[in-house]
Amino acid sequence: MAHINLLPWREELRKQKQKEFVTTAAASAILAGLLVFGAHLYINGKIEYQTQRNNYLKAEIDILNKRIGRIAELESMKQGLLARMNVIQDLQSSRPESVHLMDELVRSMPDGVYIDSLTQRNRNLIMTGVAQSNARVSDYMRNIDASEWFSDPHLDLIRTTEINRRRVANFTLRGIQKSREKTMDENGSGEDL
């Protein structure tokens, strides 16, 4: 029987398998490297895209914040204008009240009473004047109390002096001017007075 040496064949097979293994390992390493590089590029692209979106959103938010600031300015201007309009409406509605005040001063004043000065702060009135007697001042207070446009007469000061051999009473009187709405409510009608 012939002796066949199988060692070189096995050795060649082993070398061939080793070569295939190295080739497969190198190909796998290159493929893995390419996959990692591709994933890196993909993730960097996503990050860059998101950064661009974030920058765009920041720019839009800045624009909106400027618009909101302008809206706040306009709201404050609107409130100022509304306040001015309310003041003007109050002045317009109270304009006839001063006419009624002067008219009622004349109507409620009895003979022998003269007003030297009239001061008005809001609805409070301060009247200083001269009367022929204390009784005339009392009549004047009763007339004020019965008036449609005055209320709450209070005598602050009354002093009797003599002028040209006549006794006169100098007085200071306080009262409150009734508002138009209160006067209309008391009369029970909605007509302008």
Domains of the chain as residue ranges with CATH: 96-187 (3.30.1360.100)
- Both tokens of 63, joined, read 């624009």
pLDDT score for 81: 94
- Both tokens of 58, joined, read 């920041």
H or E segment to which residue 55 belongs: helix 7-108
Q: Which residue has the tokens 């003269």?
A: 114
Per residue in 80-111, pLDDT tens?
999 999 988 877 776 777 777 788 888 888 88
Coil vs helix vs strand at 145 = helix
- Both tokens of 28, joined, read 């796998």
Q: Is 38 exposed, middle or buried (0-12, 13-18, 19+ CB in 10 A)?
A: exposed
Low-confidence ranges of the chain (pLDDT < 70): 1-7, 94, 180-193
Residues 174, 128: Cα–Cα separation, whole Å: 9
Q: Residues 128, 84: contact at Cβ < 8 Å?
A: no
Q: Is 137 exposed, middle or buried (0-12, 13-18, 19+ CB in 10 A)?
A: buried
Q: Which residue has the tokens 């209309």?
A: 184
